[in-house]
């Protein structure tokens, strides 16, 4: 009987280990990270490629949060990233004004863009403190919300002398890439014509602290 019980417990532990994927770090339990960075070092970039002109822009007014259990990232991940349309910059002031105008992003009516997520899948352990994954969530732009899938990579850094130069507490670095179609968000691409692609590539590079 004891042999069967021991075998059953071993199988149970194996099943839990397979299903629960997370970080192997000092921290335990649920952790919440805040991505607001008053120093402006967090950045999201967007890229439009067309036959006539390639446009690269950045956003640095970023806020939001992510929470998860350290040992079970897959099932417990949830959070939200928010950016201010006013902080979007393409390097040309006239183009910025056009992009934020009522005829396009309409900053006055829709001042924020957000991405809210509540799970991760296809998680792979790159290192004890690093995971790659896919995440699906609600991307809201121009007052329209759509499901968007993104590729992501998360790095967990235990607090040390080096991390304290950036911020107190443990740090979480997030890198992510995804694409959106302007027409999905009721943005009339014909207003600007071929100067802006229908498909916009988005890259995320942000760091949050749990203190």
pLDDT, tens digit (0-9, with 9 covering 90-100), for 124-158: 999 999 999 999 999 999 999 999 999 999 999 99
17-21, 112-116, 138-142, 159-163 — which is least confidently predicted?
Answer: 17-21
CB-based contact 119:75 (threshold 8 Å): yes
CATH number, domain with residue 55 = 2.40.128.110
SS3 13: helix
Range of the domain at 24: 2-209
Q: How many domains does the chain have?
A: 1
What is the chain's mean pLDDT, rounded?
Answer: 88
For the stretch 159-173, pLDDT in tens is 999 999 999 999 999
Taking residues 82-88, what's their average pLDDT?
97
Q: Which one, of 136, 161, 151, 157, lies nearest residue 207 by Cα?
A: 157
Taking residues 188-192, what's their average pLDDT?
61
Where would I find the beta strands (DSSP E) of the chain? 30-34, 43-48, 55-59, 62-69, 78-84, 112-127, 130-141, 144-157, 171-181, 199-209
User: What's the full length of the chain, in residues?
Assistant: 211
Range list of H helices, the chain: 2-19, 73-76, 93-100
Number of neighbours of residue 44 by Cβ within 10 angstroms: 22
pTM of the complete model: 0.86
**What's the confidence (pLDDT) of residue 198?**
87
Q: Which residues pair with 176 in a beta bridge?
A: 152, 204
Tokens of 109: 């009516």
């Amino acid at each position: 009987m004891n042999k069967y019980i021991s075998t059953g417990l071993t199988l149970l532990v194996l099943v839990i280990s397979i299903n629960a994927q997370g970080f192997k770090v000092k921290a335990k339990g649920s952790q919440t990270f805040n991505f607001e960075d008053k120093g402006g070092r967090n950045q999201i970039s967007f890229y439009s490629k067309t036959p006539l002109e390639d446009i690269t822009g950045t956003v640095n007014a970023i806020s939001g949060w992510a929470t998860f259990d350290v040992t079970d990232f897959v099932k417990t991940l949830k959070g939200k990233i928010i950016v201010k349309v006013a902080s979007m910059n393409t390097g040309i002031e006239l183009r910025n004004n056009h992009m934020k105008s009522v005829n396009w992003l309409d900053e006055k009516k829709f001042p924020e863009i957000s991405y809210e997520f509540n799970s991760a899948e296809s998680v792979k352990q790159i290192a004890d403190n690093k995971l790659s994954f896919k995440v699906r969530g609600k991307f809201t732009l121009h007052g329209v919300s759509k499901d968007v899938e993104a590729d992501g990579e998360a790095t967990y850094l235990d607090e040390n002398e080096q991390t304290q130069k950036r911020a107190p507490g443990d740090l979480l670095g997030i890198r992510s890439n995804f694409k959106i179609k302007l027409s999905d968000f009721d943005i009339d691409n014909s207003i600007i014509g071929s100067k802006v692609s229908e498909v916009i590539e988005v890259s995320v590079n942000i760091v949050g602290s749990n203190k």
